[in-house]
Amino acid sequence: MKPIYRLFYLSYRVIGGAWYWARRRFTTAGLFVAGGIIVTGATGVDIENTMTYQAFTLLFAFLIFGFVSSFFFRAKFSATRFLPRVGTAGQPLPYRVEIKNLTAKPQTGLTLLENLTDPRPTFAEWLAFQMAESKRVRPFHVAQRRRRNPFRLATLKPAEIPPLAAYGEAEATTEILPLRRGILRLTGITVARPDPLGLFHSFVKISAAQTVLILPKRYPLPPIALPGAVRYQEGGVALAANVGRSEEFVALRDYRHGDPLRHIHWRSWARIGKPIVKEFEDEFFVRHALVLDTFDTEPNSEILEEAISIGASFACTILTQESLLDLLFVGHQSYCFTAGRGLAHADQILEILASVKNCADKKFATLEQLVLNHVSIVSGCICIFQKWDAARRIFIEKLKALNVPLLVLIIVPPGGGISNAGESAVETDGSLHVLEIGKIEETLAKLK
Amino acid sequence: MKTPPFLLLAVLVFWGWQSDLLILGALMGVALESSRFIKTRWDLSTDDFRRLWNFCVLLAGALALYVFSTNEGGGGFGTLVHGSAAGRTATLSGLHTASTLARWMPMMFFLFIAAQNFSERETIPLSAISLIFRRRQQNAVGIKPEWYVNIAYPYFIVCLFSASIHANEGAHTFFGGEGVLLAWALWPLRARRFNFAIWISTFLLALALAYAGSRGIGQLAQLAQNYNAQWMTRWLSSRPDPTQAMTAIGQIGELQMSSAIVIRMETKNGAPPPSYLREASYHSYRSQTWFAGGSHNEFLDIPAAANSGGTAYDLVPGKTNTADVSIACYINGWSSELSVPESLLPLPSGSGRLENIPSSVVAVKQNLTGGVLAAGPGFLIFDARYGAGATLDSPPNTNWDLTVPTNEIPALEQIVAELKISSTNPAQVELAVAQFFANKFTYSTWQRPDKTPHPNETPLARFLLRTRSGHCEYFATATVLLLRELGIRTRYAVGYYAHEADGENQYVVRGRDAHAWCLVWNDTTKAWEDFDTTPGSWVATESQRAHAWQSIKDFFSWLHFQFSKFRWGQSHLRRYILWAVIPMMGFLLYQIVFRRGRKRQAQKSNNKNSGAIPWPGLDSEFYQLETKIAARGLPRQSGEALSDWLARALAENTLADLRAPLAELLRLHYRHRFDPNGLNAEERKSLAQKVNTVLKTLAEK
């Protein structure tokens, strides 16, 4: 099978590359002319019974002139992009580009095209996606919803460049529609000029490498009464966050066995002659754990994307001025990020989420261990799962046994559900919600 | 994007002109362009466009069927299901069908473009055109915005393409017309940075280049045809022309022969195969070419044998045929008259009857020199019954069959002198000639250049007097002319020499087995007989030319043979495929139904769920009262509140006593309908009872 897939992959690369080239090089009219050449070339072989070959020669001559004229575009430009730092997947990202004409010849009728890095995957990535798709898609069912090409980075909109005077500057507004979260790398800018017939573009390329972070898609969430109550945070916010430490303490008292050495007030000890420790004001506030399940074998899983989107939605919605949010997931290692109450902003969690990938080399138990170690300090847990199986059920039962208030969200493919629902108590107590892809927004809106 | 004004009118007029449908084209164009002046628009929904599109596609299908059937296009449905019985005159003419359909495309999709032009939006939703797009739209996650396109430019392209589908009569009207129309179409799309002078000069230069290109293509095709006619047709295309045979006599160098299998034979009951498979014979020789002295028109239809069901033809009626061979051959020629493949059949000498001719054969014809022409499929399997005795050739004609070209006479006279034949007995003469060629001549496919040119020497004279080495055409031509010089009536025959076995009772004939020999008239038996003077070593010499990968080529040849059997309906595979396709289709249908069923079930259960939560208050008995009062001639207006209507209805004095109870009932009804807490059981009961009481009172009034 592999050689056949190699062949498919090769054709995917060649066709994809050719189409990308054609889309940029030809104008819409030019694409019609190129299509016309193919059709008339095929039908015009019989020159006795059709006149199509004459149409073929004419269309071909148009393109020859377009192609030849592309060698006579000798302009020079420089360009500066005014790009936002971040964008959001699925949301148009408009920005300005300043173009400067570096020659004495005025320029009009130019188009600005953005250059992205080659989004075509390696054979291994492509094969993994095809295998996952072949499992999911039913043969012969042509109309079944197929996944959008997950390797496509963004759709680019060509922008018209206003007329440029000799050595003049102009500002064009263009737009990118990012399709994937993560880092979007722009390699340069191409200035395109059509030929006199308006069919074929000639290019001047400007090197302008830049990146923009694309955050995950977010859903609007209703005001959710998250489970759990305020909990005592030993050491206050500062210690809770493990960054710096507060000198704000309420009193001093005698040292008791077990007090940490860092709490010893040395000056008082020196003055009094016995160990004195600082007593901090007890901190009580809400602290939530956002547990993200990253365990799926499929590298470009649609479910993972949705899980991340939901995670991002919670990160944005929870009022972090008043509470803390810990993001717990497993990637190359186990991660725990805390945001809120001035420690870190939700944006930073989004930036982390923008780069999360599925973890194929570790087991779910790693996440379980991470959460169970952390659970004593949190008020409640929001768990976002990619599937519902025995391991996850046992994990939730353990959390229940620890009296951790829970909100469990399970993402299922369109038309799917969870198997053996109702077997466990956790499935019936109302804390578990099944989110079907395609109906996630409406299901989330019903959460209370 | 909209087309510039009157472009569609122009292109439709052009299409009509080129397709001999000028009035229709003009009417269609006027109808489309009238949308610029007529401001009336239809509010067409996506569903309406979808129906129109389906109609256009069905129309195209129906037209295809119509064209196909008027072509008497067989090889399709009829023969697929009914085998040989249905399609007597049937032969696939798919090319004609396709070109007719291509020419009619503007008509087929006229309704659709007209709908676009006269719709409010003046664009077409994409999901109306593509079934897959529509399904994906339906199955899409979330709401997917509809895409709208203007199909004016695509329709323009279709019209221009359709206008090009007609025979090339050498006129330049199409080129000029398409040039003007394309200029018209491209003008609004031009690059604005260039001025008109640059645009028009570029366009004209492109036009000139295209004109030169199209002339060049025409000349190239002509050149290829001529090139082909010179020698390819003879040696690469395996079928000779029934009217003339251009020989390779006089050509210098190696004769290239193909080793591809061109004929397969199967003999019955272990009988030996016929040695010679003749395709044609000729009687006049001029300048290295043999002529049959006629044209295609001299071919006469052979009627099908009586009681054969149209599958047998008697070539020599009344002849007793002693042997039987099944022959499979390719029909490589083309009949411009019937627009189907056509060529001469390779037949054993003395063929008297053809049997098991498939129904797809449109015509079987013969000419005076024994050529049998079959028209219809591109591949044919049939049985030839043959035996010694009479042949289908015409009897000898002194004008033709004894004529020797004057420029060949001196060389022939020298040979006759060398032969020193004293006998006038034809058999002895033939023997002497055969011995002469066998002893003094060698077989060779190689002709070396002549170092000492003899300006007046013909290639045949050179062969007879000096080189004495050549291929079968030299021997056959020399023999025919030599025997004529000796007073024996002869003809020149071309065909194949069959000698290669390929399994039990099976034989194959390759391109390199193509052969030429002599036909001699036997006055005793009154029949033409084969007489071959080519040295017997020619078979071995030709076989040496077999390549090392001959078996691989033979395998592909076999694949081609099997495919041709299938393609031209000479095997039962078509029917097997039909029977294989039916379960496959059944499986697909099951899949579709299964999926659909599940969907419907899912929908049903969803509906059930949604029905399980009825709107509160819909069961109120008050509605019965409403119906009753409305029946008295006071119907409630749409949008009229119940209370307003009741006040209007109860204005009637006869109903005055009902005002109080009805007001009370209305209040209860409203509570039942809109109060979040609803009615309690007692109140609900009271509502029902009170309504009943009022209904009774109403009935009495």
In a domain, B84, yes or no: yes
One of 3.30.365.10, 3.40.30.10, 1.10.3470.10, 2.60.40.10 is the CATH number of A2-138+145-215, namely: 2.60.40.10
B185 domain-assigned:
yes
**Are B665 and B555 in the same domain?**
no
Where in chain A are the domains?
2-138+145-215, 247-281, 285-445
Which string of b and e fits B183-222 if b means at least 16 CB within 10 Å? bbbbbebbbebbeeebbeebbeebbebbbebbeebbeebe
Determine the pLDDT at residue B67: 66
The alpha carbons of chain A give a radius of gyration, in whole angstroms, of 30
Domain final residue pick, B164, B189, B214: B189
- Answer yes or no: do B126 and B175 share one domain: yes
Range of the domain at B608: 572-613
Lowest mean pLDDT among A46-60, A127-141, A181-195, A196-210: A127-141
Extract the tokens encoding B21.
């449908």
CB-based contact A64 B206, cutoff 8 Å: yes
Q: Are A51 and B132 an interchain contact pair (Cβ–Cβ within 8 Å)?
A: no
Closest CB to B202: pick one of A43, A48, A65.
A65
Residues B274 and B356 in one domain: yes
Q: Are residues B514 and B384 in the same domain?
A: yes
CATH superfamily to which A285-445 belongs: von Willebrand factor, type A domain (3.40.50.410)
Q: B175: which chain A residues are within 8 Å (Cβ-Cβ)? A: 51, 54, 58
Query: Largest Cα–Cα distance of chain A, in whole Å?
Result: 116
Instruction: Tell me the residue type at A30.
Output: G
pLDDT digits (tens, 9 = 90+) for A150-204: 888 898 889 999 999 999 999 999 999 998 888 899 999 999 999 999 999 999 9
Residue closest to B49 by CA, chosen among B148, B140, B159: B148
Query: For B395, which DSSP code?
Result: P
Percent of chain B whose predicted confidence (pLDDT) is above 70: 81
Taking only the tens place, the pLDDT of each residue in A14-35 is 999 999 999 999 999 999 999 9
Question: Quick one: B336 and B400 in the same domain?
Answer: yes
SS3 B532: coil
User: B258 and B272: one domain?
Assistant: yes
pLDDT in tens, A210-240: 999 999 988 888 777 666 655 555 555 544 4
Question: Degrees (nearest 5) of the Cα angle A142, A145, A149?
Answer: 105
Can you tell me the mean pLDDT for A415-430?
Answer: 69
So what's the ipTM on this one? 0.75
Decide: helix, strand or coil at residue A382: strand
Q: What is the pLDDT of residues A327-347, one digit of tens each?
A: 888 877 788 888 776 667 777
Do B545 and B400 sit in the same domain of this protein? yes
B207 within some domain: no
Contact, B235 vs B257, CB < 8 A?
yes
Residue length, chain B?
701
- Residue A399 confidence (pLDDT) above 50: yes
Closest by CA to A153, choosing from A101, A204, A239, A212, is A212
A196 and B202: CB-CB below 8 Å?
yes
Residue type, A63: L
Sign of the torsion angle spanned by Cα atoms A343, A345, A349, A351:
negative
Task: Report the percent of chain A where pLDDT is more than 90.
Answer: 34
Q: Which residue is it, tokens 């929908």?
A: B603
Q: Tell whether B492 and B393 lie within a shared domain.
A: yes
Give the pLDDT confidence of B102-135 residue by residue, as tens digits.
888 999 899 899 989 998 888 888 888 877 777 7
Question: Would you state the torsion angle of the CA atoms of residues B388, B393, B398, B404, taken in this order, to the nearest 10 degrees?
Answer: -90
Do B460 and B251 meet the contact criterion of CB atoms below 8 Å apart?
A: no
Q: What digits encode the pLDDT tens for the residues A85-124?
A: 889 998 999 999 999 999 999 999 999 999 999 999 999 8
Contact A57 B217 (CB under 8 A): yes
Structure confidence by residue, pLDDT tens digits, B148-189: 888 999 999 999 999 988 877 777 788 899 999 999 999 988
Q: How far apart are CA A273 and CA A275, in angstroms?
A: 7
C-beta separation of B178 from B164 below 8 A: yes
User: Is residue B8 over pLDDT 70?
Assistant: yes
Q: Helix B173-186 to helix B152-163 angle, to the nearest 10 degrees? A: 170
Band (A424; pLDDT cuts 50, 70, 90): low
Please tell me whether residues B366 and B268 are part of one structural domain: yes
Domain finish residue from B570, B604, B636: B570
B526 and B603 share one domain: no
Taking contacts as CB-CB distances below 8 angstroms, the residues of chain B near A200 are none
Q: Which residues lie below 8 Å from residue B428, measured CB to CB, with a gap of 6+?
A: B421
Alpha-carbon separation of residue B151 from A31, B105, B122 (angstroms)? 15, 14, 9
For the purposes of burial, counting CB atoms within 10 Å of the CB of A321, is it exposed (0-12), middle (13-18) or buried (19 or more)? exposed
pLDDT for A261 equals 84
Q: Residue B571: what pLDDT?
A: 64
Q: Which residues of A touch B595 (CB under 8 A)?
A: 138, 141
Q: Say how many C-beta atoms besides its own lie within 10 A of residue A445's C-beta.
A: 11
d(Cα A285, Cα A379) in Å, to the nearest integer?
A: 8
pLDDT in tens, B598-655: 444 445 555 544 444 567 777 888 888 888 888 877 788 877 888 888 888 887 777 7
**What pLDDT does B585 receive?**
67
B503 and B519 inside one domain: yes
Q: Is the pLDDT of residue B253 over 70?
A: no
Looking at the structure, do residues B629 and B535 belong to the same domain, yes or no? no
What count of other Cβ atoms lies within 10 Å of the Cβ of residue B660?
10
- Residue B540: pLDDT band (50, 70, 90) is confident
Pick among A57, A65, A149 to test the B interface (most B CBs inside 10 A):
A57
Indicate the number of domains in chain B: 4
Contact (CB<8Å) A62/B140? no
Q: What is the mean pLDDT of chain B?
A: 79
The string over B362-389, giving b where at least 16 C-beta atoms fall within 10 Å of a residue's C-beta and e elsewhere, is: bbbbbbbbbbbbbbbbbbbbbbbbbbee
Q: Which helix (H) or strand (E) holds A403?
A: none
Encoding tokens for residue A443?
């299901």
User: Which stretch of A357-361, B351-355, B484-488 has the lowest confidence by average pLDDT?
Assistant: A357-361
Structure tokens at B257: 């022969």
